[in-house]
Structure 1
Amino acid sequence: MATISTPQSTVEATAARPAPSWLAKISVGKVAAQLALLLLVVIWTVPTAGLLISSVRDKSQLTISGWWTALTMSQGSGASTLPTSAEQVAEGGVYVLRGSVFPEGDNRTIIRFGTSINNPSAADAGETLDMNVGGSITLESDGSFEWVSQTPFEHDRARLFYIAGIPPTFTMENYYEVLTSSGIGRSFINSFTVTIPATVIPILIAAFAAYALAWMSFPFRGLLVALVVGLLVVPLQMSLIPLLRMYNGIANVTGGSSKTYLGIWLAHTGFGLPLAIYLLRNYMAGLPKEIMESARMDGASHFQIFTTMVLPLSFPALASFAIFQFLWVWNDLLVATVFLENRESQIVLTARLRELLGSRGDNWEILTAGAFVSIIVPLIVFFSLQRYFVRGLLAGSVKGG
């Protein structure tokens, strides 16, 4: 049997070569990309988490502390009117008034108190202070007090000021108030009435246009593609007033009203078509050319190719735009305010929540719960189509023909 000998120098060089370190396998670019992605997740998640926590906090706590203090005891000031002299009792040669600054069942805790609004933290809980109308008062941490005087009480009104600790309190009252408010159910239906057609109509029109721009030859095709790309950067606000004037002109001629569901469907269709055509056209242009040529050789028309082959293959791009359009229309307030009347039969969910908030924003805790009520449907749509979202979005963003 023949033997293979290895030179000693080769063996020594191999043995001296250090084993590859796991640090050497790490790509700096990959780590940077992962950190950037983590940062974006944090930027989006933290405000959403804060909104969710605020939506289940007690109203009184929302006004005095931020959501990040939800698990700690917060502090708030208060005042209580003390009993009048008619309620005094004589005990052991002194006159006493007893009671509590908190209603029964209140779980607050007294931290400091005072006899003047200018100094509500003059003493700690359990200490004694002299009252301006006579006698001295002791306020315990549970809110109970004892006011003692050597002479009969003669006051008509006296107040005690305090700083109380409020333990973490979570409740569903904000959601209950939103869901039981008058007109919420009807507003949900109105939002569906606006959103579903305003999502389906631009998809149908854009699919036909995208196929024509991708696979049909006709004059000025390149110019039309450039025009679609240019329309992507036109701000929606620039076209609102001209579009509304056009609707009003048509309404004056026909004798009807411009603020109808048909009007807002057409408005959302016009605003959504550039992005829809751009995404779908780029996706369809990247489909295998051999499939189209084989279908034409078999005698298939453009319409048959489009309906039987291109549409099924383009479902990821269709789903991506459907998510974008649905989220945009469902959360829209500006277009709905301009193109719909502010009446019960047409007001959408976003406009209803704005009314619940109030003109001065005093009841802003309603907004936190209302925000999560309004995103229930978009979340269902997104998670239902999420497996197609990235694939269709990347295809529409990267490919081009």
Structure 2
Amino acid sequence: MDNMAGSKSSLNIAVNISVLLMVLLWLIPTVGLFVSSFRDRDQISATGWWQAPFSVELTYRTRADADPVERGDGYVIEGNIFATEEVAESFAAGESSISAFGSRGNAPAEFAAGTTADFGDGETLLVEPDGSYVYSSPNEIGSRGPRIYFEAETPPQFTLDNYRSVMAADNMDQAFMNTLIVTIPATVIPILIAAFAAYALAWMDFPGRGLLIAAVVGLLVVPLQLALVPLLNLHNKIGIGQSFLGIWLAHTGFGLPLAVYLLRNYMVGLPRDIIESAKVDGATDFQLFTRIILPLSFPALAAFAIFQFLWTWNDLLVAKVFLPSDDASKVMTVKIADDLLGSRGGDWGILATAAFVSIAVPLLVFFTMQRFLVRGLLAGSVK
């Protein structure tokens, strides 16, 4: 009874749960990257992205900048730490609470909030949890008040400053255009060449076809890094060196083996009856390829186009080798690695934002073309 037509397998629920868990596991890094791109650098360093809605305990440094007042035999400075010029912006989003304070950078939490710290020579400092402070000194206080270090619960901060910094970076718009200039031809060219080659290897009889198929399979295991230097030397000899034409041909060469292999295997599985009927009706190989094979192979072509686009867009190594190092020729991955990562190595908010900006276009391409992956094998063959 369990195998009757129309009945569901007992493993159906387990399969659905497994797929859901896999989707969630794949989404978690993207969600974390997205949340981190809106957070402040210090808060990212202190807590994980899943704690973004909650307050964060951070250490700050400020200076008592209120005017000193003479009182009795000494001088006093009173005010609120949260209102001092150096940290006021960090606490503009809401109320905070101070847990500890100190007068030295190596001991920012030396004294608990609400207690009076005695620094000797009659100098004392009292900092309350609400941020109010009183500094007393028997001597006249100069124009600059004392340094105060403190730990405070900082409200969560979400900002668009990271995106403004990335989008306004020098030549970032040029890097975006360069990435498109590299990626689109490097995706289209190997697909065109591989489609013709795959048809020939799948449906045309000629001497040495088996050896060519074996050579294509063998090229799949050649490491990309092994061919970088010889290929660059070849480009320099023929005059294309480090240029857009050179990187187009490089990506084409690196992508062709997999493209030919995938498309050839797909085309071999197409219904032989349709192809033989077209040949009986007098169709040439070119007509057969353009009017029957290509429409039926569109799901495979779209699948490889997605993967090739993603690989090329996210590429760093090939772009570093086959493109000039000047700003006018940098793609986004090189721009992020050289400029943002090089000069802002500890600014995780900037890096998360740059990474998310760089994957926006590949995500758009994937969600736009993924519907072609589920088309039927014979899509378009029946009128």
User: Which sits farther off after the overlay, 260-269 or 103-112?
Assistant: 103-112
Amino acid at match of 1:178: V
How has the CA–CA distance of structure 1 residues 258 and 115 changed in structure 2, closer, same or farther, with 3 Å as cutoff? closer
Match of 2:207 in 1: 219
Match of 1:90 in 2: 70
Match of 2:177 in 1: 189
Structure 1 position 383, deviation (Å): 1.1
Match of 1:61 in 2: 43
Amino acid at match of 1:262: L
CA distance in 1, matches of 2:29, 2:61: 34
CA distance in 1, matches of 2:359, 2:69: 59
How has the CA–CA distance of structure 1 residues 377 and 119 changed in structure 2, closer, same or farther, with 3 Å as cutoff? closer
For structure 1, the 5+ residue unaligned runs are 1-23, 252-256, 396-401
User: Which sits farther off after the overlay, 156-165 or 295-304?
Assistant: 156-165
Amino acid at match of 1:245: N
Write out aligned runs for 1:8-157 (5 A): 27-28=10-11, 30=12, 33-82=15-64, 87-91=67-71, 95-102=75-82, 103=84, 104-107=88-91, 108-148=96-136, 151-153=138-140
Say yes or no: does 1:330 pair with 2:313: yes
Say yes or no: does 1:243 pair with 2:231: yes
Match of 1:384 in 2: 368
Deviations, residues 329-374 of structure 1 (Å, cap 9, x unaligned):
1111110110010123321111111212225713332211011111
For structure 2, the 5+ residue unaligned runs are 1-6, 379-383
Amino acid at match of 1:53: V
- Give the fraction of aligned pairs with identical amino acids, expressed as a percent: 52
Structure 1 position 283, deviation (Å): 1.3
CA distance in 2, matches of 1:34, 1:228: 37
Bigger radius of gyration: 1
Amino acid at match of 2:68: Q
Match of 2:268 in 1: 285
SS state at 2:308 partner? helix
CA distance in 2, matches of 1:133, 1:227: 85
CA distance in 2, matches of 1:386, 1:233: 27
CA distance in 2, matches of 1:79, 1:193: 47
Of 192, 197, 201, the match for 1:209: 197
SS state at 2:328 partner? coil
Match of 1:264 in 2: 247
Normalising by structure 2, what TM-score? 0.86
Alpha-carbon contact 1:357-1:364 (below 8 Å) kept = no
SS state at 1:130 partner? strand
Alpha-carbon contact 2:242-2:324 (below 8 Å) kept = yes
SS state at 1:56 partner? coil
